[in-house]
């Protein structure tokens, strides 16, 4: 049964039912309080009641902050994910309560972000928000629908296909020469990326104890797809590794992710290659390897791809080359 009392000129309605959390809400008039109480009691009687009090007290920013503490540390991309999520927390949308986080507000956030960043970035941010809301619903008792699922996503950008030419590789390596205050780790990191097709995270996780220069192999215990693999090393790779100093940490390239990223961006600017990204080195390496390893299974063993359909993009024979094979 609902009870009502007047406090400071407002009417407070309170509903207490066994097996349900207490529900309290304040209104300007007693009639409004009674209307709310009747509707809520009707939902309880029909078994349709959903407690949204926690969702009303909790903002999207609060949920993201908890996610950063409890979930993100166990994820592979913890550093990048943390930076992106903290950036979302600074946006106005993070101040909305979970109960009031509507599809219209998510759509407005999408439209504002599209004025600032690419469609691909917005798609990733919406995916972050959606995943966090789903986790809050499953694990933290935030009883809300997921408004992101009702919002139209921006058009996915075309997959990137940038491959460096031999001349561009030469310019980049020249710009990476460790002169002055430049790090002497950036150039070998780029050389290894071009020679092994490893992802940046894989390069930075390599340890000397897992490298066998005699048999020309490197064991990667933790990769993007969650599976370990042993990478064959070319003679060029072995030469780069043999010339590297051994750091006391045992890590082959002992620099942080964002330190390498910043140094690479400065080098590409000096080389006049502003459109080049670090991941383009992996694409360039795989494209070159595809010429030496026409068997897509062998290429996948080197690159670590699970999907052979993805690897097909790296095989780009010309019509003239195919004609020669046909005889």
Measured between alpha carbons, how far is 223 from 238 in angstroms, rounded to an integer?
21
Measured between alpha carbons, how far is 297 from 16 in angstroms, rounded to an integer?
65
Q: If you write DSSP's letter for every residue of 127-169 in order, what string do you get?
A: HHHHHHHHHHHHHS------GGGGSPPPPPPPPP-----HHHH
Which ranges in 140-252 belong to alpha helices (H)?
A: 166-175, 186-196, 200-205, 235-242
Instruction: Give SS3 for 67.
Output: helix
Q: H-helix or E-strand containing 2?
A: strand 2-7
Residues acting as catalytic residues:
199, 224, 279, 282, 305, 314
Contacts for 243 with CB less than 8 Å, ≥ 6 apart: 188
């Amino acid at each position: 049964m609902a009870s009502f009392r007047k406090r400071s000129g407002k009417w407070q309605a309170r509903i207490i039912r066994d097996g349900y959390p207490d529900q309290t809400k304040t209104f300007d008039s007693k009639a409004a309080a009674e209307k709310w109480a009747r509707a809520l009691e009707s939902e309880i009687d029909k078994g349709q009641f959903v407690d949204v009090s926690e969702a009303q007290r909790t903002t999207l920013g609060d949920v993201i902050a908890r996610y950063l503490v409890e979930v993100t540390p166990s994820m592979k991309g913890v550093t990048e994910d943390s930076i992106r999520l903290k950036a979302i927390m600074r946006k106005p949308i993070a101040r909305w309560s979970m109960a009031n986080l509507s599809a219209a507000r998510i759509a407005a956030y999408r439209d504002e972000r599209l004025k600032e960043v690419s469609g691909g970035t917005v798609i990733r941010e919406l995916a972050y928000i959606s995943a966090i809301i789903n986790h809050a619903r499953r694990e933290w008792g935030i009883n809300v629908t997921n408004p992101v699922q009702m919002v139209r996503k921006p058009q996915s950008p075309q997959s990137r296909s940038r491959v460096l030419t031999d001349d561009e590789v030469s310019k980049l390596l020249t710009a990476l020469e460790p002169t002055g205050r430049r790090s002497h780790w950036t150039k070998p990191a780029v050389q290894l990326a071009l020679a092994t097709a490893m992802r940046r995270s894989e390069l930075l996780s390599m340890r000397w104890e897992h490298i066998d220069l005699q048999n020309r192999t490197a064991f990667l215990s933790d990769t993007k797809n969650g599976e370990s693999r042993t990478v064959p090393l070319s003679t060029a790779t072995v030469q780069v590794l043999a010339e590297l100093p051994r750091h006391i940490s045992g890590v082959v390239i002992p620099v942080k992710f964002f330190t390498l990223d910043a140094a690479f961006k400065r080098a590409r600017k000096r080389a006049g290659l502003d459109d080049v990204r670090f991941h383009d080195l992996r694409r360039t390496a795989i494209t070159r390897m595809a010429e030496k390893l026409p068997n897509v299974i062998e290429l996948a063993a080197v690159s670590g791809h699970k999907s052979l359909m993805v690897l097909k993009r790296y095989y780009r024979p010309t019509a003239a080359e195919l004609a020669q094979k046909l005889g």
